[in-house]
Amino acid sequence: SQQGEEDPQALSIQEGENATMNCSYKTSINNLQWYRQNSGRGLVHLILIRSNEREKHSGRLRVTLDTSKKSSSLLITASRAADTASYFCARNKLTFGKGITLSVRP
């Protein structure tokens, strides 16, 4: 199984702070994706990073990948209340983690 761990399970921060979420996996991957899910909605794709990439940016989002440690991080800078959502990482073969619940307090 390519299931790994996402941590923390839940994160509560103040608006304006940075949020860091981690995803680890057990077997080798070709790529890893991060998704966001707002309450009661479907998942929205955020970033895809391939195994030969170490870092990608998209607006306030930064994703890193360390294949030697089998882990990835999603950093949201200058968080906003609208960033409140669940965040999922998905390894290739479409294995999703259980998600990280992020709460951003106004």
Q: Which residues of the chain form contacts with another protein (CB under 8 A)?
A: 30-31, 33, 35, 40-45, 48, 50, 88, 90-94, 96-99
CB nearer to another protein: pick between 20 and 92: 92
Least distance from another protein to the Cβ atom of residue 10, Å: 12
CB of 31 to another protein, least distance (A): 5
Closest Cα partner for 102 from 6, 10, 17, 7? 10
The two three-digit tokens of residue 96, written as one number:
């999703």
**Residue 33 vs 72, nearer CB to another protein:** 33
Percentages helix, strand, coil for the chain, rounded to the nearest 5?
5, 55, 40
20 neighbors 34 (Cβ within 8 angstroms): no
Residue of 100, 97, 106, 93 whose CA lies nearest to 31 = 93
**Least Å from the CB of residue 101 to another protein:** 11
Q: Of 17 and 55, which CB lies nearer to another protein in the complex structure?
A: 55
| Least CB distance to another protein at residue 16 (A) | 29
